[in-house]
Chain A
Amino acid sequence: DSGVTQTPKHLITATGQRVTLRCSPRSGDLSVYWYQQSLDQGLQFLIQYYNGEERAKGNILERFSAQQFPDLHSELNLSSLELGDSALYFCASSVAGHPNTEAFFGQGTRLTVV
């Protein structure tokens, strides 16, 4: 158990809908990272938050947004869902604001868009 909690574990929804994925980082970790993993794309970095503020941005679509709350948990919002958004979404946390420290991954949320 990495100490990072993601909910829900599985999500099935229809195209055009909006969903929210939730992540609770390990106790003491200030950074939260979101990744998307699909079969043909590998693990793609989406966005990083550090202590409530956006720190780095990757290949995140405009239909996607995220935030980190004062209690350090984070939410990833995916809207106007398309079939191609079906993937495993991972959250990871680390103690530092830079990515040169070990990150601990949650078990992921498997999103299926039908």
Chain B
Amino acid sequence: GQNIDQPTEMTATEGAIVQINCTYQTSGFNGLFWYQQHAGEAPTFLSYNVLDGLEEKGRFSSFLSRSKGYSYLLLKELQMKDSASYLCAVVYNQGGKLIFGQGTELSVKP
């Protein structure tokens, strides 16, 4: 299969840093996305990694290790509006499909 695993829920404090992990099957891997989705709304693009390393974009960073089948999304200086579901999605060569994980529901507390 093409299992993509993320924690179901996480809680963090406003102003803090949180890391959301994602593991996936490496066979046929061809890129990884992170999307943010607020409840009842459309997913919006956060980041894309295809090579190993860290991609930084403002308060958000995403890391990829292709050999380990591992990625994380790092959110700094958390704000209340960051409370949302964070979706890890992997592109697989076979069929050229983008497969989403179940998402991690992040709650930011004051």
Interface residues of A (CB under 8 A from B): 2, 4, 33, 35, 42-45, 48, 55-58, 88, 90, 92, 98-100, 102-108
CB distance from B91 to the nearest CB of A (A): 5
A48 to B45, CA, bound (A): 18
Q: Which 10 A-B pairs have the closest CB atoms?
A: A105-B42, A99-B98, A43-B100, A42-B102, A102-B45, A100-B31, A99-B91, A105-B43, A56-B96, A56-B95
Do A108 and B42 touch across chains, with their CB atoms under 8 A apart? yes
CB atoms of A106 and B42 under 8 A apart? yes
A100 touches B91 (CB 8 A): yes
Which residues of A are found within 8 Å of B41, using beta-carbon distances?
Answer: 107
Q: B58-74: which residues lie under 8 A (CB-CB) from chain A?
A: none
Offer 10 A-B interface pairs, CB within 8 angstroms, sorted by A: A43-B87, A43-B89, A45-B97, A48-B97, A58-B95, A99-B91, A99-B97, A102-B45, A102-B48, A108-B42
By size class, the interface of chain B is 20 to 34
Per DSSP, are chain A's interface residues mostly helix, strand or loop, or mixed? Answer: strand
Report the tally of A-B residue pairs with Cβ distances under 8 A: 58
Contact A103 B45 (CB under 8 A): yes
- Determine if B54 is an interface residue (Cβ-Cβ < 8 Å): no
Report Cα–Cα, A90/B89, bound state, in Å: 15
Known contacts A45-B97, A102-B45; 16 further A-B pairs (Cβ under 8 A): A2-B42, A2-B44, A42-B100, A43-B89, A43-B100, A45-B98, A55-B96, A56-B95, A56-B96, A58-B97, A99-B91, A99-B98, A100-B30, A103-B98, A104-B45, A107-B41
